[in-house]
Amino acid sequence: MKHRLYIFVITLIGLQFSGNAQTEVPIAKSEVLDAVVESNHSLKISEEQFNAARADFRQTNAVFLPNITASHTGISTTNPLMAFGSKLNQEIVTAADFNPDLLNDPQQIQNFATKFEIQQPLINVDGFYQRKAAKSKMEATALQSERTKDYLTFEVDKAYMQLQLAYKGVEVLEQALEAALANKQLADNSYAQGYLQKSDVLAVEVRVTEVRNQLQTAKSQVQNASNYISFLMNTSQDVVYLPTDALEAEMFTEENALMISKERSDIKAMELASNAYETQYKADKMTFLPRLNAFGSYELYDDQIFHADAGGYLFGASLSWNILEGTKRFGKAQKSRAEFETSKLQYEQYVSQSQMELNKAKRMLNDAKNRLQLSKLALDQSEESLRIRTNRFEEGLEKTTDLLMSETLYAQKQLEYYQTIFEYNYAQAYVQFLTK
């Protein structure tokens, strides 16, 4: 009875674990890229930043477009001046209103005024430059958004290659574990027949344990790579992806430019940002010039709310010049000039740093290409050595330690080979990213 109960409990536990096990979802790199372009948070953030910059630019339309307001005001007053003026506006003044007693001590009067007012900028030099600076900022933000997309494409390449490499690690270590278990079986048989010592059997068991631990680490790397891809795609991270594209060396056939292109979107964006700082500096200097604005209004008056028995209009132009505003404008102009000079230095530094990164990436690509050929030869040699030692071990002609060393070396060379493929493809993708 107890035996049946144990079987039932073990079956339930097995069903529970099988229900919670993660399934592998096949996915191609093109599918990852499409999902990233569609849902990635960084891209959405860059789009909103562009929308904000475009809204700032649209606010500068006020330099050309009029400002129109409407208001309705009601008052009650016995103020002599206000009372007489209200009657004039309402067009109800009579000869009796000129009686000095009534002028000096008027009765309470109600006045309701509806006013439509327009202000039209004509000449606003600093506003013109501010508009130009806002436009440069908007264009720079658009280019930064484009560069964000390029960077995420590069990140997708790297993340997908990491997933491919992780699966290759699992594949190699599963084969190594299978071979280690087979050798353990041989070692156990040889020990039972008295051909091996206990220390040899323990060495084989240690090797099996090591491979199992390495395999578990490799499986964790698969999950880590899958989680990062899920993060890029902005999807659930409780998924293990299976790459459908093979990890193969992509031959680099086309030579890229030796110099960084200043037309690269992020570099062009920095140039536009520097132009925006320069234009803002000019705008701050132009605040010393006068402004010319036109204005006009149409007013309706009555002694009852929302009535309009009398009305009149007014229009004209105003030339204003804020001659001295303490030292505020001088300090503001000095600050904007310092920001402009800083932006120029940052632009030059960024171009120089990008060129340095390109030179470094090209050397990394050449080194990876050389290591790729060497690691392939080393892999072939270790495979052949393991084959020979395995055959000799089965015949009792090879030491256990020598066989274990050959197994370890072969697994190591396999992992190194796939790692070199990853480094070569990554270096190539990085060079393309820097020169795009």
Q: Are 31 and 98 in the same domain?
A: no
Tokens of 306: 């929302």
- What angle do helix axes 125-192 and 328-394 make, rounded to 10 degrees? 20
Tokens of 177: 């574990």
pLDDT bracket for residue 278 (50, 70, 90): very high
Q: Which CATH number goes with the domain that contains 103?
A: 2.20.200
Q: Are 218 and 333 in the same domain?
A: yes
Question: Would you call 250 exposed, middle or buried from its count of C-beta atoms within 10 A (0-12, 13-18, 19+)?
Answer: exposed
Q: Is it the case that residue 173 has pLDDT exceeding 50?
A: yes
Average pLDDT, the chain: 86
Cβ atoms of residues 181 and 211 within 8 Å: no
- Give how far the C-alpha of residue 249 lies from the chain's centroid of Cα atoms, to the nearest Å: 29
Q: Are 92 and 174 in the same domain?
A: no
Q: Is it the case that residue 268 has pLDDT exceeding 80?
A: yes
For a pLDDT cut of 90, what percent of the chain falls above it? 52
Beta carbons within 8 Å of 358's beta carbon, 6+ residues apart: 259, 260, 431, 434, 435
Tokens of 66: 């009029």
Cβ atoms of residues 232 and 40 within 8 Å: yes
With respect to residue 200, please indicate whether it lies within any of the assigned structural domains.
yes
Q: What is the mean pLDDT of residues 26-55?
A: 94
The per-residue pLDDT for 145 is 93
With respect to residue 394, please indicate whether it lies within any of the assigned structural domains.
yes
With respect to residue 194, please indicate whether it lies within any of the assigned structural domains.
yes
The per-residue pLDDT for 6 is 35
Q: How far is CA 47 from CA 142, 407, 421, in A?
A: 8, 53, 35
Q: How far is CA 405 from CA 183, 311, 382, in A?
A: 13, 105, 10
**pLDDT tens track for 4-22:** 333 333 333 333 433 345 6
Torsion angle in degrees (nearest 10) through CA of 159, 380, 216, 27:
30
Q: Are 231 and 261 in the same domain?
A: yes
Q: What is the mean pLDDT of residues 407-424?
A: 88
Q: Is it the case that residue 2 has pLDDT exceeding 60?
A: no
Question: Would you call 198 exposed, middle or buried from its count of C-beta atoms within 10 A (0-12, 13-18, 19+)?
Answer: exposed
Which of 137-141, 194-198, 310-314, 371-375 tops mean pLDDT? 137-141
Q: Is it the case that residue 149 has pLDDT exceeding 60?
A: yes
Cβ atoms of residues 241 and 29 within 8 Å: no
Q: Are 129 and 263 in the same domain?
A: yes
Cβ atoms of residues 272 and 139 within 8 Å: yes
* Total of domains in the chain: 2
Instruction: Pick the last residue of a domain from 300, 321, 342.
Output: 321
With respect to residue 202, please indicate whether it lies within any of the assigned structural domains.
yes
**pLDDT tens track for 347-356:** 999 999 999 9
Tokens of 403: 């066989």
Q: What is the mean pLDDT of residues 127-154?
A: 94
The per-residue pLDDT for 95 is 87
Q: How far is CA 334 from CA 123, 286, 324, in A?
A: 24, 13, 16
Strand extents, DSSP E, 233-342? 240-243, 291-302, 310-320
Cβ atoms of residues 278 and 340 within 8 Å: yes
Q: Are 160 and 231 in the same domain?
A: yes
Type of residue found at 180: A
Torsion angle in degrees (nearest 10) through CA of 421, 422, 425, 426:
-150
Task: Give me the domain span that covers residue 176.
Answer: 21-65+124-287+326-435
With respect to residue 332, please indicate whether it lies within any of the assigned structural domains.
yes
With respect to residue 3, please indicate whether it lies within any of the assigned structural domains.
no
Q: Are 85 and 174 in the same domain?
A: no
Q: Are 111 and 237 in the same domain?
A: no
Q: Are 70 and 216 in the same domain?
A: no
The whole-angstrom separation of Cα 66 and Cα 55 is: 18
Q: What kind and span of H or E run contains 1? A: none
**DSSP assignment of 32-54, as one string?**
HHHHHHHH-HHHHHHHHHHHHHH
Q: Which CATH number goes with the domain that contains 144?
A: 1.20.1600.10
The whole-angstrom separation of Cα 176 and Cα 214 is: 10
Q: What is the mean pLDDT of residues 26-32?
A: 94
Q: Are 311 and 379 in the same domain?
A: no
With respect to residue 343, please indicate whether it lies within any of the assigned structural domains.
yes
pLDDT bracket for residue 386 (50, 70, 90): confident
Q: Is 91 helix (H, G, I), strand (E, B) or coil?
A: coil
Tokens of 338: 């310092």
The per-residue pLDDT for 191 is 82
Query: In 75-124, which ranges are continuous DSSP H helix?
Result: 80-90, 100-104
Q: Are 100 and 195 in the same domain?
A: no
Q: Is 247 helix (H, G, I), strand (E, B) or coil?
A: coil
The whole-angstrom separation of Cα 101 and Cα 88 is: 18
Q: Are 236 and 94 in the same domain?
A: no
The per-residue pLDDT for 18 is 38
With respect to residue 334, please indicate whether it lies within any of the assigned structural domains.
yes
